[in-house]
């Protein structure tokens, strides 16, 4: 038997490791003999030392098939105002009210994943069920932070979260289904050509670059935590989806993390020594690449301690038997990822621009539709509620329905960070031979719903949707339900204000005037509310509606640029590491309720 990577029960309390050497040891020096990865359960250890503040102490165990994203203690996850994140609702009540639950897809130490169908339209979803009693208090806190980070992720190579539910016994996470299975299964079942390996690594790096640009470090990248979107061959259009952010955390530039988190085969040497940053993810990418090329993991010992000792030494072998027929560029790239010294280790953006990725991974070229600019201009002129509703629709659609515009987005994303600048969109328009309008910046500011200065993935999809995607009654009902906060079948001014403020009690009043106008315009019953029929009329309207969205300062960045689980090294912190955040800071007043303007308009009693 070869090395059991990722799912093998192993030693959980290794002895302290020897002091770390400062020199970089990546290269062809003699090192540990590589071993083949096999299906297994998590190998790793638990560490009980207290930590500074970079995690809540989640046990680091989850589900192999469909796990999700977590956060670091004290991390402030950035949220959109009217972006996709603000419409992922947490509901109390029975999952069975909205979903028919089917067969089990997988099971882990923290829960079970089932296939499910949404009752309203039959859409397939994967539902992760977590038993509340299995979580300690700190783990429950970390679990909700995990949900927050997952909400904030908006990238084609990261699995989507649609809804969360909670009843007396369970938490439920409703996610997209990835029918192609785990990358690890493919590694075990087949050999990878160098081109296929490049396709995989490029997609892995896209997800990593996006996370790092958003100050998130995953800390558990491995083949088990990547699922293939489709049950087809490895190809550029069969997207890999990153899952299980259970031990992910915030990591800002210059920040040093100190917790031992990860999986033994894939963890970076600096993690073992408790002093690392987001470059730990690039080491893990290097191990994944090594495994794709050779079928072996580069570090393997007789037990966990032996494996981790070899990882800490960082000596990588490139035997002719495995690497003799591999290109020099591939070997150079793998060495760049597996530099033991993180200061010399290649960063995600530079990795995406490495010659091996540029030349060996097929470049995506998808034709820009002739209606592209027309759709962007029309979207700019919609009222803010319809813009938000279209983001809901885009976020709910499956990859198959979005494939063409998804591929356009990826083609235009020149640096691979999962966001589009003015320059990138301009280049895409030029390459399509379409004349660039003089007001392109203004058009894109109208598409940029969250005011970030760039066009995010779901913003792009919402602005370019085919009208057939949002005219059906089923789609409109899904969007309507996101605004209908209390589920009574009616949308009131305060519910619009709350939704447009990103689901927050603060900041809603800036949207009051427009909320009043929209309710009045589509209030068919004259009762000061919007029914579903009025909402559907708004969604199906072809009238160009000039938005009165709250003005925001032009983004400096946009205008200037025009531009599965922590089933490995789990950690249990001392009580001091899981103290509640200080509540000394004063909070702004609740301005989610309408002012006298709504009463004067007859919309609030």
- Give a three-class secondary structure readout of 326-373: CCHHHHHHHHHHCCCCCCCCCCHHHHHCCHHHHHHCCCCCCCCCCCHH
Among 54, 73, 163, 220, the active-site one is: 220
Distance CA 422, CA 559 (A): 8
Name the burial class of residue 33, with classes exposed (0-12), middle (13-18) and buried (19+) by CB atoms within 10 angstroms of its CB: middle
CA distance 517 to 603: 10
Between the alpha carbon of residue 326 and those of residues 146, 194, 201, 320, 361, the distances in Å are: 39, 7, 15, 9, 14
Q: How far is CA 307 from CA 44, 217, 266, in A?
A: 9, 23, 10
CA–CA gap between residue 581 and residue 165 (Å, rounded): 25
Closest CA to 458 of 420, 504, 412, 507: 420
220 belongs to the catalytic site: yes
d(CA 313, CA 322): 21
603 in Cβ contact with 519 (< 8 Å): yes
Pairing of strands 90-92, 161-166: parallel
Give the whole-angstrom CA distance, residue 543 versus residue 257.
53
The string over 394-420, giving b where at least 16 C-beta atoms fall within 10 Å of a residue's C-beta and e elsewhere, is bbbbebebbeebbbbbbbbbebbbbbb
Which residues are CB-contacts of 390 (< 8 A; sequence separation ≥ 6)? 379, 382, 462, 463, 465, 470
Contact 553, 29 (CB under 8 A): no
The rounded distance, in Å, linking the Cα atoms of 58 and 71 is: 10
With a CB cutoff of 8 Å and minimum separation 6, the contacts of 254 are: 277
Question: 157 — alpha (psi -120 to 50), left (phi > 0) or beta?
Answer: alpha
Active site residues: 220
């Amino acid at each position: 038997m070869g090395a059991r990577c990722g799912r093998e029960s192993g030693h959980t309390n290794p002895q302290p490791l020897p002091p770390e050497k400062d020199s970089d040891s990546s290269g062809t020096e003699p090192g540990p003999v590589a071993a083949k990865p096999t299906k297994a359960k998590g190998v790793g250890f638990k560490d009980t030392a207290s930590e500074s503040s970079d995690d809540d102490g989640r046990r680091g165990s989850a589900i192999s098939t469909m796990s999700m994203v977590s956060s670091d203690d004290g991390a402030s996850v950035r949220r959109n105002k009217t972006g996709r994140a603000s419409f992922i609702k947490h509901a109390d009540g029975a999952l069975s009210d909205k979903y028919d639950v089917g067969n089990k897809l997988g099971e882990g130490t923290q829960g079970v994943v089932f296939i499910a169908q949404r009752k309203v339209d039959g859409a397939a979803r994967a539902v992760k069920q977590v038993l509340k009693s299995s979580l300690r208090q700190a783990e429950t806190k970390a679990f909700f932070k995990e949900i927050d980070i997952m909400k904030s992720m908006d990238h084609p190579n990261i699995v989507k979260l649609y809804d969360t539910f909670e009843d007396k016994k369970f938490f439920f996470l409703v996610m997209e289904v990835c029918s192609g299975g785990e990358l690890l299964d493919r590694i075990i079942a087949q050999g990878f050509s160098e081109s296929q390996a490049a396709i995989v690594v490029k997609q892995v790096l896209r997800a990593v670059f996006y996370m790092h640009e958003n100050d998130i470090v995953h800390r558990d990248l491995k083949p088990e935590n990547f699922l293939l979107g489709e049950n087809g061959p490895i190809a550029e259009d069969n997207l890999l989806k990153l899952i299980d952010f259970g031990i992910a955390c915030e990591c800002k530039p210059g920040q040093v993390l100190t917790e031992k988190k990860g999986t033994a085969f894939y963890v970076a040497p600096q993690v073992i020594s408790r002093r690392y940053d987001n470059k730990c993810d690039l080491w893990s990418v290097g191990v994944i690449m090594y495994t794709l090329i050779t079928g072996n993991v580069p570090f393997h010992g007789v037990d966990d301690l032996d494996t981790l000792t070899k990882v800490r030494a960082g000596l990588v072998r490139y035997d002719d038997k495995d690497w003799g027929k591999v290109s020099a560029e591939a070997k150079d790239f793998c060495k760049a990822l597996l530099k033991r010294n993180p200061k010399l280790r290649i960063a995600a953006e530079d990795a995406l621009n490495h010659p091996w990725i540029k030349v060996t991974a097929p470049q995506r070229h998808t034709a820009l539709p002739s209606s592209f600019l027309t759709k962007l201009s029309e979207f700019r002129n919609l009222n803010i509620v319809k813009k938000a509703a279209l983001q809901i629709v885009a976020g709910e659609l499956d990859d198959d329905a979005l494939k063409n515009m998804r591929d356009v987005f990826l083609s235009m994303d020149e640096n691979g960070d999962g966001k589009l600048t003015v320059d990138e969109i301009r280049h895409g328009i030029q390459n399509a031979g379409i004349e660039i309008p003089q007001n392109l910046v203004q058009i894109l500011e109208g598409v940029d719903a969250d005011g970030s200065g760039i066009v995010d993935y779901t913003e792009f999809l919402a602005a370019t949707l085919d009208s057939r995607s949002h005219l059906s009654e089923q789609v409109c009902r899904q969007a309507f339900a996101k605004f209908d906060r209390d589920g009574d079948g009616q949308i009131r001014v305060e519910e619009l204000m709350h939704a447009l403020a990103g689901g927050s009690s603060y900041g809603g009043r800036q949207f009051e005037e427009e909320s009043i106008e929209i309710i009045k315009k589509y209030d068919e019953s004259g009762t000061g509310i919007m029914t579903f029929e009025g909402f559907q009329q708004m969604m199906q309207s072809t009238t160009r509606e000039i938005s009165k969205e709250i003005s925001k300062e032009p983004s400096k960045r946009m205008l200037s640029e025009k531009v599965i689980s922590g089933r490995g090294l789990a950690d249990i912190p001392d009580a001091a590491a899981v103290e509640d955040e200080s509540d000394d800071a004063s909070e702004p007043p609740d301005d989610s309720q309408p002012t006298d303007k709504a009463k004067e308009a007859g919309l609030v009693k």
